[in-house]
Structure formats: C-alpha cells, structure tokens
Structure 1
C-alpha cells in the first residue's frame, strides 16, 4: 500500500544518476589520492566516515566522480537501495562504482525525502522486490534504478516529511552518542578500579598487571565451580516447545540478551545441575572467548549450551560474580593478559581446564561489592539510553510506514 494522493514518476526523471570510479591496481598505486565512499560507508540516512579509503583519480575525471552537498547516494550492491544524502562535511569526496550518485535535475526535489521513501519501499513495503539484476551477486543497475517509480508530492510536503523523520533520527543519534560516552566512561572506570581499587592502597606488580597491595591473585578454578553446558546433539527445537537455553549469542559483555532464546528437546532430569540460578556467571567458551555476564533473572527453567561455562562461587568462597565478570572484560579486552588463553584448534575455544587456570584479582568482598555498585550505576545509564533508543527506533519505523502509505499526513504530526 502506498499513498494514493501522490503522483508517481520514474526516479530517472527527477535525478541525474552518475556512476562512481572503479577501484583498480592503478588507482590504488597512483599519486594524488582522494578519499572515496564505498557501500560500507553508506547506511540508511547516515554516512559513516570511521574508515574511508583513498584512490588516485585523474583530474579529468574528478569532477564527474566527486560529490556535492545534497547528492543522494544509493547502494548498487550489498543491501541494494540503501541510501543517504552527502552533507559536504569533507571538501573533497569521491565515490566508488558500487554506489549511484543521484543529483536533482529539478528544483522541486528534496533528496532526503527520497532516502526515506527508498527505506520504506525496500525494508517495509516490498514494492521494489526483484529490482536487483539477476546475477550471482544481486545488484541494482543504473537503468533499473532510473526506472523505479517513486512518489512526487509537492516539494513543501517532501520537506516537511523529511524534517519530521529527521527529527526522530536525530533523537536516536543523541541517545547513541550518550550511550557511547557512558560506555567509554565505564571502560575508564574499570581500568582505574582494577588498577588502584577504592581504598587508596599502594600498588604491587602481579602476573596480571598492577593491583592494590591487599588484593590476592587466585586461579578462577579456586574460587568458582565451573560446569560446561549441554551439547545440542541434534536436539534443537524448531518451535516453542522444549527447554529454553542460552547460547554464546545471548551473552554480551556485562549483560544477557533474551530477545532470541533457542529451545532444545532434553529430559529435565538429564540437565542435572545445569539449571541456571540467580547470580550464575556465564563465560563464552567459543566465539569471543571469555565474554561474560551474570544471570540476573529469577525465572526458573533455563539452561545453557556447551559453548558456555557456568561459574558458581565455591561454598565458603568470597567472590562476587559481577566483580569477576567485570574483571574478565578488563583482562580479555583492556589489559590483554589472557591473549593465547584459547586452545589451539581450528576454531579457538576456552576449555574448562584453561579457564580454571586463569588468574584473577580477589579483593575483600566489601570492596568487590563497592566496585560492582559503581559499575552498575554506569550500566543503568547505558541501559536507559538503549531503551530510549529502542522506543525511538520503533516510533521512526511506525512514522515512516504511516507517512509513506498515507495513513497519516505530515501536517497531523506534533513532534515538538
């Protein structure tokens, strides 16, 4: 369904469509290189300049292969149709041949409106299914792109729709930036806390780096019971029946994501002591080895796969699982003290025996809890921004669909 009140025209009647420069050995080795965009730089309604490559382009070709502010870029390959507007933030920027450059040839065209229309058309409405050329790797040729029928409301309406959707997108970016800032604050706090502690003690050098003088260094297997999870062995459930279990894909640094939980067919009595309990520490055996988070749910009936280790404090031990999870992030990601900890197989993995041998710091339990409280406060801030971002993302998708189908009109919106 599309907006019945709009007129429609081929995209090629609204935009001049230019082709980018093909990367070659000569372009790679030449002199006077200029930066250029690839499809990986073009996201939906965003240009990512984190990694920008360069190539040599002859002066005679440069004007034809470079960008101006307001140019609409559309991916020819990869996620075909993905689009964003170049904002001119860099004075000279070229583009590769896997991108199309669309430059308005009429004054009644707002490029950003067409970014949003293409996003809705390709990701929601399905009206351009089959638009890609039928090759081994699907691609959107210039001719196919030019022939796509697109709406052409008044330029005033185009601008109002683009402004409304851009306002929500900007709010999403604000929360992305705030979450990233809080994440960096957490990394800095972790480095400081695991180096100096909270009691103002002198430091000592240890096998895992500097630590407060009173902190003990113990093998993980001396403070935790370690039990590997269950092997699937073809028992994966394809539906909602069976026992829910966690995979490595559910375990992130410091948090567990239950959006996509798999199930397996297994007799409950065979699970034994592999039922998860509040406070269990889960550590990845494969994938990003060592990645760890604590199970904080009181909901019973969950188990875990054999690519995860479950760590439970030994009776009489003085260890806080969330402190250990934070340390593993420091040890694996920041200090790199566990490099080479994985078993040397085709796919690196962290065996139970290797994990049990790894040294970790063990301060007094009250200091562990104080450190956890500081990191939890930062985590709550990060989670707040993530939740707000999720709400705004759903709002954006709903608005995008309703505006492009005519279910609501832009003059009915109040986003103040």
Structure 2
C-alpha cells in the first residue's frame, strides 16, 4: 500500500481509475472483437474458421510471452511510465494488424498486439491496489476490470456491426486510435506515484514456489478455457446452427457483455474469504450452462440467455486476482503477470480445442460439450485449491500463539 500522505485526492483517484479502465476497455476491444469477426477474416483471406482462429491463439500466446517479460523489466519503473510504454505498443501493434495483407501477417501482428496486454493489466491492477484503502482493494480492482466488461457490452457489438457493414480492419484501427487517446490521458492524469513494494527479483520469482498459487492459476488455465471455447465460435453457431440474421451476433455479444459486467460487479463485492467457495459454485454452474448451450443454440432467445450466464463467469477474474495477492504477500508484479498469462493460456486453449473439434466436421454449437469438459477440469483444480487452503488454515490454527 502507498502511504496515505502520498495518495492522490478522491477526485484524482476516480480519474485515475477511469483512465486505467479506458486501457482495459481497449484491451477488451482488441481481444474480444476478433472472435465474432472470424467469419469475415476467413472470407478476406480465403481461410477456414479453424485457420483464422490461429490469430486469436497468437494474441493469447503474445500475452503469455509478453506479460512476465514486460512486468519484470518495468517492475521498478513508476507505473505511469510503464503504462505509457504499454499503450504505445498497443497503438503500434493494433495499427499494424489493421493493415495486414495476409493471414500470416495478421497472426504475427496479433502476437505483437498481445505482448503488452498482460503487462498493462498487471500494472493497472497494482496501481489500483496501491491507491485503494485496504477494505476497498477488491472494489478498486473490479473498477479497472470494468473497462473490459464494458467493452464486451458496448465496444464489441458496435465494432461487430462496423465489421459486418464496412470491414473488420476498422475495428483494429479504432483500437489503435483509442490506445493513442489513452496514452495521452495516462500522461496527463496519472501522477508519478512511487511503487508501494520496490521489486526484488528473489521475491518475484519466490512466488513460483507457492503451490497454492499454481493450483489457483490452474482453475483459470483449464476452467476459463471453456468460456473462450464457446465465445470464439458464437458467430459461427448463430450463422450455421441458429440460422438467424447476422445482426443477432451483435445482440449475443451484448448479452455476453452484460453478463460480464454483472458478474464483475457482484463478485467484486464478495469478501475475500468467500472467494474459493464462490468460484466452485460458479464452475459447477458453468458446466450446466455449457451443456445447455448445445440445445439452446436452436432457439435464439434461449441462446441469448445461456450466453448471458456464461458471460457472468468472467467476473471471477477480480476474485482470483485478489485471492492470489492475499495468498502471496510478495511478488505482486509476478502475480499480475501470471494471472494474465493464465487467462490467455485459457484463451489459447479454448479456441484451439474448439477449432480442432469443428475441423472434424461437428457443428459449432457442440463446442459446448468441449467447454463442459474444460470447466470440469477447472473444478478439479478448484477442489485441489480448496483442500490446500483448508490444510494451510488448519496448520495456522495449530501453531502456538
């Protein structure tokens, strides 16, 4: 925590959170808008949906590679300066993606676009935690994530319509332009706040020895792959199985985004001690909704409802981030990087596995079965985390005062 004397005023704190959320809005736009655009990208480059899906996986791999490298190399840098660097990279890489002349180029540029994603999220979350009162830390972090969820409600549906009527390239060009705006806002609004915990490589890498950290990350890597497995192929499901007009894809994106926002708000208010229990309940619910997705895809209204509830699961990101910071008092820069790596490994696994299944000739709505398997894997990791947490608490209670 940053000493109270150095904290900005409440007005500036609000402004800082808004600017940080603008950055996560851009990241949400850049990441999630590509998924409903897959049919358009396939048409542009004369590729199959599974081949175009590599552009999504490339972005996720970029996050996994870039997050730890950029977070650790900028760990002792003021967060303001680090955020400016990350936004500059977002501006350049998204602009290059918009100008790609082949699928191979797009895949490379999407990889570059992913490099600053996790680092920005990690730095923004750490800054929000630094300026937050201890009892409002989860709430402040959830406000940073709110930009991402608003992107799924407003940004993705709008750019989906733009892509359908103009070109998917405008979507990435828009993300590039917004990154430039956010860069200026960060430079103007975010003060030069000293880091609350100067980085120490021993402490940062010491996080890797914590078995509980890996168990919790396993929930994300495996379980959240189910979310992305379904989300990536929603557009194909609607066009091929539901057989409704293309504009219903945007409505489905809105329903997913509303679910994300509601889930983020509700779970952001949850107490840290209830985080694991809430996660377990959510994973069980997601298994049920994933199976329901297969049948619901034959009716657009039922499909909207199921997509809404699946979207709610992304609200767990706030709880998992806060929980990891609690179980690992040191190495928060590494924690921030690992969380984003975990989510984007899930984002690589989901579309990849879903694409493999579709390539075998099954209908895209049957990715719901694949998602159910992934959520079940996440539930197994949750059970392992739950047992480890209870065992750790029991050992603490047995220690003499």
Which TM-score band applies after superposition, normalised by the shorter structure? under 0.3
User: Is the strand fraction higher in 1 or 2?
Assistant: 1
Structure with larger RCO (C-alpha < 8 A, sep 6+): 2
User: Is the helix fraction higher in 1 or 2?
Assistant: 2
Compute the TM-score of the two structures, normalised by the length of structure 2. 0.24
